[in-house]
Chains A and B, each alone.
Chain A
Amino acid sequence: MNTLLQIAQVSDDGLKSIALGIGAGLGSIGAGIGIGIIFGKEIESVARQPELRDELQSIRWLGFALTEAVAFYTFIFALIAFFL
């Protein structure tokens, strides 16, 4: 494996950067889909029952922040993997 890496001229840092990119990128996909679902469903609900708009608004922001944080977990753990 080591000789293979030497032949391909791949450094340890380079591999770590690739890992960070792939890890954080894959994490963002899930969070992106989740945020899309949250806002889509909220629009649907408000279209059905416009009088619930204010109540739904605070739930929407709660769901948005909880989902968005998932992307940052992957980012932070990728950074930890990069620097350790």
Chain B
Amino acid sequence: MSRLSTKQKVFLGIGSWLALAVVVHLIFGSSGRNDSFQPQEEFELTPWVTLELGAIDMSITKGVFYVLLAAVLTTATMVYIAKRMQDRPNRVQTAVEVAYDLTRNTMTGQNMGRPMATKWFSFIATLFFFIWFSNMIGYLPLPVNTGHPVDVLGLEIPSLAIYAATANISLPLVLTLLVWIVYHVEGVRVKGLVGFTKSFVPPGISGAGAIPLFVIEVISDFVRIISLSVRLFANVLAGHLLILFMAGGLVVLLGLPALGVLTLGMAIPFFLFEVGLVATLQAFIFATLTSIYLGDATAESH
């Protein structure tokens, strides 16, 4: 038997994949459109513990659970690593040291002056690690889906689901508002109220031309609230939607088992892409932009 060339192998692989889809379709057929399955339920926040203070709803939902889990994990990991520092680091310590170097030198050091960087390093590093942990636990299947419990030996256990606190607009928005207020306060503290207001106009422009530029710069300052929060939220939400639909949502929705053979093949690369790149990259971007905004607000040249 002659050996197959690479091209033939690729065609054979794709062909057998498509053939598998056709075989599955012939065996299982189509069960028609499924109207009872609501994919948006996956992102619904059902209160676990109802807690209302007057008009403010402070119920414990899975979003709150994920925020707390991320906070506990961030603190616990960092304190644990810091407590048992060794001269000859093991693998975990090396990884944390690389992340520390990234937050200290790349994110903070390159965008601010030296005294500012020492002052604000802890804030930016905390933002980075907190967002990273909440993004990463968003890809672990955890038993949080109380809407569809599974019966295990008489116990009602919530089924496994993936959800991230950052896939809800509330958490990114709160973090963004915190950052926004922080850099305004810091800018006013360094330059004074008048100096900070003047710094909105780019250097080298004076007279009547400065007024429209000032208006545009103020608007773009407010747009930062939207862009910073929606960037994180939309990236994580779109990733979760892709994984949800590719890994089975479409199959259940359309009642076409054969489609699952094709979409699962796409779901796995998407999952790896989200875990390997997007989760870290979005945390990196959020922290870096915070650092750039802080550095901009306090820089002398502007």
Contact = CB atoms under 8 A, between A and B. Distances in A.
B285 A72 contact: no
B285 A66 contact: yes
Nearest to A68: B235
Interface residues of A, number: 12
Interface of B is mostly: helix
Interface of A is mostly: helix
Nearest to B169: A76
Categorize the interface residue count of chain B.
10 to 19
Interface string A48-84: 0000000000100110111011001101100000000
A18 to B, nearest CB: 18
Interface in A19-55: none
Among B106, B227, B234, B281, find the residue whose CB has the most chain A CB atoms closer than 10 A: B234
Contacts of A73: 227, 230-231, 234
Contacts of A72: 230-231, 234-235, 238
A75 to B, nearest CB: 6
A80 to B, nearest CB: 11
Contacts of A68: 235
25 contacts: A58-B106, A58-B110, A58-B288, A61-B285, A62-B285, A62-B288, A64-B281, A65-B281, A65-B282, A65-B285, A66-B231, A68-B235, A69-B227, A69-B231, A69-B235, A72-B231, A72-B238, A73-B227, A73-B230, A73-B234, A75-B234, A76-B230, A76-B233, A76-B234, A76-B237
Interface of B: 106, 110, 227, 230-231, 233-235, 237-238, 281-282, 284-285, 288
